[in-house]
Amino acid sequence: GAADEVWLVPCGKRPDKPSLKRSVLDRLLMCHLAVNTTFGTGFPVLVSAIEMEEPTALPTWHLLQKIRRERPDIVPVFVIGSDLVKDLKEWDEGERLWAEENFIVIHRPGFPLKDELPPHATQLEPPGNAFTLASQELSSSEIRKRLRYESNFGELERSAMQDKNYAMVEGLVPAAVLAHIIRYRIYDDDYKT
33 neighbors 177 (Cβ within 8 angstroms):
yes
Q: Which residues are within 8 A (CB) of 116 and not within 5 positions of it... i.e. 6 or more apart?
A: none
Per-residue model confidence as pLDDT tens digits over 8-47: 999 988 888 887 778 889 999 999 999 999 999 999 999 9
pTM tops 0.95, yes or no: no
Task: Single out the residue of 44, 40, 50 nearest to residue 10, CA to CA.
Answer: 50
- Three-state DSSP class for residue 65: helix
Write the CA distances from 165 to 17, 22, 157, 169, integer angstroms: 27, 21, 9, 9
pLDDT tens, the chain, 193 aa long? 788 999 999 998 888 888 777 888 999 999 999 999 999 999 999 999 999 989 999 999 999 999 999 999 999 999 998 889 999 999 999 999 999 999 999 888 778 887 689 999 999 876 665 555 555 556 777 777 777 666 666 666 666 666 766 777 788 889 899 888 888 888 776 544 4
